[in-house]
Structure 1
Amino acid sequence: MYKNEDIDELAEKLVYLYKDRKKLKELAINGFDFAKKFTEGNASDEIYDMITRLS
């Protein structure tokens, strides 16, 4: 993470990831796994489940 609107800090983080390929790969895999939770099908299933629980 970096401070909002702090371009220098963002650049430092990007350089760090560029140099540490293992960390970059780990971050990419975690991001991909996190994003899978928010597919259209998953979102609609969750909304449906919520509505049926409230009914």
Structure 2
Amino acid sequence: MQDELAAYARELEAGVTRISLRQKKLPALIADCGLRAADAGRFATVIDVEAAFAKFRG
């Protein structure tokens, strides 16, 4: 029984380590995605944003 619990604890710890590594990599992945989108011109300009707000303000 104790061996089974120890094995389960090791599995849980390994899973937490994988999640922690993924969480550390996530901000860099998001930044890379944003930079690629900017390079591709997929961001609205200030003028585009102001025009959209003006349309809804009436």
TM-score (norm 1): 0.47
User: Larger % of helix: which?
Assistant: 2
Which has the larger Rg?
2
| Structure with larger RCO (C-alpha < 8 A, sep 6+) | 1
